[in-house]
Amino acid sequence: MLRPRIIPCLLVKDKGLVKTTNFKNPKYVGDPINAVKIFNEKEVDELMIFDIDATKEKREPDYVMIEKLAEECRMPLCYGGGVTTAAQVQRIVQLGVEKVAVSSAAMQNSDLVSKASDLVGRQSVVVVLDIKKSFLGRKYEVWTRNGKRNTGNAPVELAQEMEKHGAGEIVINSVDNDGLMKGYDLPLAAKIREVIHIPLTILGGAGSLNDIGILINRFGTIGAAAGSLFVFKGVYRAVLINYPNRSEKDSLVSQNFHIN
């Protein structure tokens, strides 16, 4: 039986681990390899690592870094950043990465998703949709380039299109909630969940295990991803890599998980 996944999300900038707020003001929080080692010990369900500079700087993924991360990682790993071709997706999978995330390039060319899916299998192709509310808060729109470029696309239709083209998973990342630790955008999650039939992961806003419990309680089998929650501790946001232990996680899932 499929179960909910609780997923730390790590952001890499200049080879260091950072955390942002609303996709701005990156704060250095440590070394990515050290973070992976700690998460290994904590037996996390899955790990997502995004290089937030690669696309902006129009460079290829850092394959040396990716290989080191994959070699160290003992849990399923999803990498994203700078991926623009199906050949790059294949190369990254060959380095030992289970899933490869695409975003900007998929918005520009949906054939990338189809070709990558044909090469490595759709289970290894993830599409990330960075989403903001419009100025008046009346509708959601998909943005790219670290939240700098508005595609004008509605996330519901785009998620459906990406599934049609071969995406094996959709990650919904709320730019408005990023780093605020005030809870997930549940209405946004509901809109996407209603229209796709592939795994869905929600990112942006989790500030407590209770927020994850609320997400699981509402949606059942879903990916609950978080950044700040798993790298900060306390009201002063002291840097501390953390993750629920096995009993906490089992309790959280068993209390809130319902078969749909």
Question: Which residues are catalytically annotated?
Answer: 130
SS3 for 171? strand
The whole-angstrom separation of Cα 169 and Cα 201 is 8
Pairing type for strands 77-80 and 47-51 reads parallel
Burial grade of 221 (CB within 10 A; 0-12, 13-18, 19 or more): middle
Q: Which of 108, 94, 210 is nearest to 158 (CA)?
A: 108
Tally of helices (H runs) and strands (E runs) in the chain:
10, 14
CB within 8 A of 44, min separation 6: which ones? 6, 7, 8, 75, 243
Structure tokens at 203: 């990112």
Structure tokens at 197: 């039939």
The whole-angstrom separation of Cα 193 and Cα 44 is 24
| DSSP per-residue codes, 21-67 | ETTEEEEEEE-HHHHHHHHHHTT-S-EEEEESSTTTTT----HHHHH
